Structure 1
Amino acid sequence: MTVELTIGVDALLARAREGMQRLGPHETRAAAAAGALLVDTRTETQRREQGELPGALVIDRTVLEWRLDPASPDRIPEATDYDRLVIVVCRQGYSSSLAAASLRAVGLHRATDLVGGVEAWLAAGLPMAEGPADVRR
């Protein structure tokens, strides 16, 4: 048996993104408007500094797979189908790629992320939400 090793975080990130159709800010906004599940994994501090992403569910990275796996007894009500498009968002688009790859590994084959994260969203001039975040525990 041959074991292939990933060396370094850059290699890990490259492997995570293989075969993933990552989305830009405007594509992400359109996909969310069409019913994609937009998931914000930023910390509370990052969200306080950058603002809340409109329409996003805030799910802590430590429980992401359990909340989004349709077969999990701890899933959120929106986790209905392995075919659902899930777009993970973080601050800069790095940890979201790793999170999306993890979701793909549990069967959410359309999971992807926002290239550049919320920083790219803001740079594109897209609006942030006015109200409180929809935080899921």
Structure 2
Amino acid sequence: MSRTVEDLVAEARSRIREISLEELVDTLAGDLVLVDVREPDEYAQGHLPGAVNLPRGVLEFQIHAHPAMGCVADEALAVPSRRVVLYCRTGGRSALAADSLRQLGFTDVCSLAGGFEAWRNADLSVSME
């Protein structure tokens, strides 16, 4: 029996932590990395302030070397205990991405419930940079 994308997302959500928009807003001043896993064209049309773009399709291959993850020039491993909050348009891709990072050993990774749409619907500021 084959599964649907919705099944895969539901399974991922059962293994990860999702945070609410309110919880994210309360923790934005803390030490965290905010990762937009949408495609570059989606990111360019607007994203959460301070977010870095690591598309879902390359996330697992590039996360360990991204400077936002605490890497230094001569060290190719990210700090796996660093708090990482992932988001996409509505939360499906970021749930899958959070589950992948959890499997890669990241210990404090979560997905934003409702994603970028929840952020925009709350009339919070959007960055175009």
Name the TM-score, length of structure 1 as normaliser: 0.77
1:68 matched to which residue of 2? 63
Aligned residues: 121
Q: What is the alpha-carbon root mean square deviation over aligned residues? A: 1.9
Unaligned runs of 5+ in 2: 71-78
Shift of 1:95: 0.7
1:90 matched to which residue of 2? 88
Distance in 1 between the 2:38 and 2:9 partners? 18
2:68 matched to which residue of 1? 78
Unaligned runs of 5+ in 1: 70-74, 133-137
Deviation track 1:23-44 (CA, whole Å, cap 9, x = no partner) reads: 1222223323201110012223
Name the SS for the 1:22 alignment partner: strand
Name the TM-score, length of structure 2 as normaliser: 0.81
Q: Does 1:127 align with 2:125?
A: yes
Say which of 50, 54, 57 aligns to 1:59. 54
Name the aligned partner's letter for residue 54 of structure 1: P
Say which of 95, 103, 122 aligns to 1:105. 103
1:116 matched to which residue of 2? 114
| Sequence identity (%) | 35
Cα distance 1:126–1:14, how it changes in 2: closer, same or farther (>3 A)? Answer: same
Shift of 1:6: 6.9
Name the SS for the 2:17 alignment partner: coil
Distance in 1 between the 2:105 and 2:127 partners? 30
Name the aligned partner's letter for residue 31 of structure 1: T
Shift of 1:83: 1.1
Distance in 2 between the 1:29 and 1:46 partners? 21
